[in-house]
Amino acid sequence: MIIEPQTKLRNSRSGYPDPSIATVNELIRADSLAKIEEFKDKWAPLFSLGYWQHLDSRVISDLQAYVEARWLLCLAAKLRELIQEKRCTIENLQSISINHHQIEEVESGEMCELYVMLQLSSEPFYQYLNYCQDSYSGLGIERFDLTGVHPDTAIMRLMDKGQQSEAERWFSVDVPYHVSFGLENACVAFLDALISIHLADFRIASANNTELKAAGSLLSALWLCFLDSYKTGRAGCCIVCQKPYIAIGERGKSRLYCSDSCSKMHQRYKVFEKLVFSGEDADTAAKNARIKLSTALSIKEHTS
């Protein structure tokens, strides 16, 4: 994939569309194996064989790789929304699977840590992260000058727990920080680390005296789209399904939904509300509004 200076991406695989931030949102919305399969058929495989020649081509499109890659992308979008809305509390971070704990007491105060762990069962995604880990640590960008005085380390780890064939593989990102730096700034550093890790397989080249960036995988291209969306976009959380999304180029009223289907579902919820207000019981109102009662109650919980 070639990325021009304006970060327009071209899919190098013939017959596939060009990825964009819409592709990021499409992967985020793929919350079932059936939807993942649809995404895989539409887009190029997450990983190209260029950097991972040793991988068996039969597993290069392993569905589990999409599931695990999607999880980290969703995590980044949720964290971005918390940072953007200034809601970085320990409780909110734990709700999106980011852990927080005190490391130690030092002379200058308390040291804490943000960390996340993901168990890996996909060989292609493990190999991708293994490649990224080597590139990430080798570039020296793992050092974040968090306080201006005490540079702390954002650490990426791939771990094997257990023995031989029974070993569990885990991926983790850890960001230790001093309390004086603040939790919100630590969250920004954590998100920076998560994005930077996935940009490890980019190369810069020259073509007709023009700078071109080449991505070794669709997944890295999607993370560049995510980063590029900071210029004109924002992160949001769908009021219907609670999935995160990235909105760009908004005018007027801010977007509330991750997709047209959720927008239509919210219109049905409004009908449900009116019917209940007029005196219908919830079951009958849901049936007449053509919405599942559980969906209506969930929307009510997150919009009240």
Cα(254)–Cα(234) distance, rounded to whole angstroms?
10
The pair of structure tokens assigned to 204 is 């810069």
Average pLDDT over residues 30-37: 92
- Over residues 43-59, the mean pLDDT reads 56
Q: Is 158 or 212 the better-scoring residue by pLDDT?
A: 158
What's the pLDDT tens digit per position in 140-197?
A: 444 444 333 233 456 777 877 655 455 688 999 888 888 888 999 999 989 988 998 8
Mean pLDDT of all residues in 32-47? 87
User: Would you state the pLDDT for residue 57?
Assistant: 46
Distances (CA, A) of 157 to 122, 153, 292: 16, 12, 42
Dihedral (CA of 212, 218, 220, 221) sign:
positive
pLDDT of residue 108: 62
| Domain edges within the chain | 2-248, 260-303
The two tokens of residue 73 are 């992308």
More confident residue, 99 or 146: 99
Does pLDDT of 49 surpass 70? Answer: no
Instruction: Give the pLDDT band of residue 83 (cuts 50, 70, 90).
Output: very high
CB 286 within 8 A of CB 293: yes
Rg (CA), the chain: 21
Helix (H) or strand (E) segment spanning residue 247: strand 244-248
Beta bridge partners of 173: 116, 156
Task: Please give the pLDDT value at position 131.
Answer: 81
DSSP of 57-96: GGGTT-HHHHHHHHHHHHHHHHHHHHHHTT---HHHHHHT
Helix (H, G, I), strand (E, B), or coil: what is residue 8? coil
